[in-house]
Structure 1
Amino acid sequence: MPVHSTIAVVRTQEKLKGLPADTGIALDAPDADEQLKAVFDDGVDIVLDFVWGSVAERLLAAATAGQGSPAGEPSRRYLVLGTLGGATVPISGYGLQSSGLEILGSGIGSAAVGDYLSSVGELLAVAQREGFAPPHEVRPLSDVESVWKRSSDVRYVIQP
C-alpha cells in the first residue's frame, strides 16, 4: 500500500506546478476520478477542503464509493474550510453510512470564539516565522472597483 503524506487536488494541471505535495491530482485530467478513488483506497486520514462545491462532490464520491467492509472502515475526517466553489453538495446517505467519513466545518461557530481567535494568532505567528508570504497588494479604498474582479492569484488588501 503506497503512503502519501500530502495529496494536492486542484482544478487544472497548471495549478499543480510548484505545489509542495507528494501526490498531485488535476481534476481536468481524463482519469482524475480514478486517481481520486485510488488515493482514497490507499488511505486518507484527513481532507482539508478550501473550495467545496463540485470539487467536494467528486472528492466525497471517491471517498465513499465501494466502502462498507465487514471489519469496519477507518475513520476519516473531511474538514470544510471554505465554500468558494459552491454552498451545497449532494451527498449519498448510503455512502456516508458505509465509509467511516466524518464531515466537519471550521470557522466561528465550530469552536468557541476565544479558541478560534487564539489559534488564528498562533497560525499567523508560525506563518510569519516560516516565511509564508502570499502574493498581495495593499490598495486604497478608492481602487476597490478596479481590483474587484482581478485575478485571484493576488489578494488585495483594501485600506480605508
Structure 2
Amino acid sequence: MATFEALGELLDETLTLPVAGSTYTIPAPSAEVGLRTQAIIQAAAKAAQGGEADAELLDDAAERDLFAEVLGETYPRMIADGVSWPALKHCALTAMIWIASGTEQAETYWRTGGDPSRAAPPNRATRRALARSGGANATKSRASTSGTSTRPAPTPATHAPPTG
C-alpha cells in the first residue's frame, strides 16, 4: 500500500507579497473561493476572446467581494494600513492567478505589473535551448535541395597544359 506524506508538508499554502515596506501573507483560500476564482478567470478569458461572459459573475460588486475573499485575513489589514487601490488590486489579481495557475504565473504577473509585454525575454541559455529544440522559431529554414555542400567547388581549368 502506498504511503503519502501529509499534504500540508508538500504544499506552500501561502503567498507572500511585499507592498510599500510591508509584507503581506495571503493564506490559501477555501475550496469554494478557489473554484469561484477559477470560474471568474475562465469567464474573463472567454470575454477577452470575444465570447459571451456571465455578466453577474464579472460585475464590479462581485470583483470587490472576490478581492476580499482571495486576500482573506490580509484584506482588512491592507485596508487598515491604507494600501492604495492600485496596489490592493494588483495584490488581489496576483492572488487570483496564484489560486488558478500557481506560483510561477503569479510571480510573472507580479513582476510585470500585470503587463505581459514587460515580461523579460528568455535569457541566452533559454534562447539557445529553444533554438536547439526548434521551439524558438516556428518557421523552418529552407533546406538545400542540391545535395551538395554550400562550399563552392573549385573552378576547373579550361585546358590542361601539355605534359611531357
- Structures share a fold, TM > 0.5? no
Of Structure 1 and Structure 2, the greater helix share is in 2
TM-score using structure 2 length: 0.26
Q: Which has the greater radius of gyration?
A: 2
Of Structure 1 and Structure 2, the greater strand share is in 1
TM-score using structure 1 length: 0.26
